[in-house]
Amino acid sequence: MDSNTAARQHANPAHQRPAWLRVLLWVGVAFILFNTLGAALFFVSRPSINIGTLVRLALVGAVVALPLWKWHGMQVLRTWNNPKVASFTRRDDPATGGILFDVEPARAARVPALPLFAFAVFLLLNALLVGTRSTGAFVGLYVVALVCIGVGCTFVLPGARDRKPVKVSVARHGLQSGDIGMPLNVVTDLRVTLGGLVVDRDSLMPGRNGVSTAAMAGRHMGRRQAARGYAVTIRADGESQSILLSGGLTEDCAHALTADLGKAIEIERGKLAAVPAAASVAR
């Protein structure tokens, strides 16, 4: 069995985080757990839930659900524990007699989005608690939480739609990946792309004549996300549009995957060409 891993995690990422970041993460977790417990006790102790409470719960649920399902935030959560370097393995596929590629994307860059999300959850839970006494307090906390979630989403959601594990099979009958199927004789292009991510290459200068801290953080996160946002696309002969095979990759992994897919396609094309030749010899 032939296998190739494009990139590997060199060390446990938890040990690479600075102490201040680990403390910040634990504080965020403590905030969420403490307020989740408080909210649970509050709602359990209440004898009934009125219409106003249901409206507030719906608003809180909507602001959490929209990024997760509407804007593909679930892909970020599914790959949360992935290494920060994308990888793939190549092996023989006994089901098709061809070659199978298992591709794992890199996790999304998520700092400083984590503190923003933790603070937003803290605000939302407190908004539910104080909202029963003051509608104005609920609206104020809700708006601030909405801003925190919105800013955090601009850090982690670019490229989230394509950040998912995929299996690509290359066999005599064609190339197959999920609902993508293409005969080998029409495959013309395999390309590495970086789409949907805007990367500002200019140097950042903080201070009175430079940019704000928020702008610096945004550009930094954009660069980190772009480094994990490469994709491999395929194009069929006679078609102008390319089809995405795999996204959420680091650059070296994307180029290695493209090269190995090209080799696998040539190998399987060689097998197809050998079949008529063998048949003619048998005659």
Please say if the pLDDT value at position 200 is more than 70. no
Which residues, in sequence order, are CB contacts of 19 under 8 Å at separation 6+? none
Residues 144 and 276 in one domain: no
pLDDT at 90 (0 to 100): 95
Residue 125, in any domain of the structure: yes
pLDDT confidence of residue 55: 84
Q: How many domains does the chain have?
A: 2
Phi, psi (5° rounding) for residue 8?
-130, 155
* pTM recorded for the entire structure: 0.72
**Strand-pair category, 180-182 with 187-193:** unpaired
Give the tens place of pLDDT for each residue, 240-249. Answer: 888 999 999 9
Mean pLDDT of 87-112: 91
Whether pLDDT at 96 is above 50: yes
Write out the residue range of the structural domain in which residue 170 sits: 85-108+159-194+229-283
Based on the fold, state whether residues 130 and 4 are members of the same structural domain.
Answer: yes
Rounded CA-CA distance 261/142 in Å is: 48
Q: Tell me: the pLDDT tens digits for 20-44? A: 666 766 666 666 666 655 565 555 5
Distance CA 253, CA 28 (A): 33
Domain identity same for 97 and 153: no
**Closest listed residue to residue 203, CA positions, set 191, 215, 188, 187:** 215
Q: Is the pLDDT of residue 259 over 70?
A: yes
**pLDDT tens string 122-160:** 898 888 888 777 888 999 999 999 999 998 898 888 889
Mean pLDDT over residues 176-186, rounded? Answer: 90
For residues 137 and 183, membership in a common domain is answered with no
The confidence score (pLDDT) of residue 6 equals: 38
211 belongs to a structural domain: no
Is 185 a residue whose pLDDT tops 80?
A: yes
Distance CA 78, CA 68 (A): 11
- Inter-axis angle of helices 113-130 and 51-65, to 10 degrees? 170
Q: 3-state DSSP call for residue 10?
A: coil
Kindly state whether residues 96 and 27 are assigned to the same domain: no
* Residue 277 to residues 103, 183, 232, 257, 271, Cα–Cα distance (Å): 34, 20, 33, 31, 10
Answer whether 165's CB lies under 8 Å from 90's CB: no
- Domain match, 35 and 117 both: yes
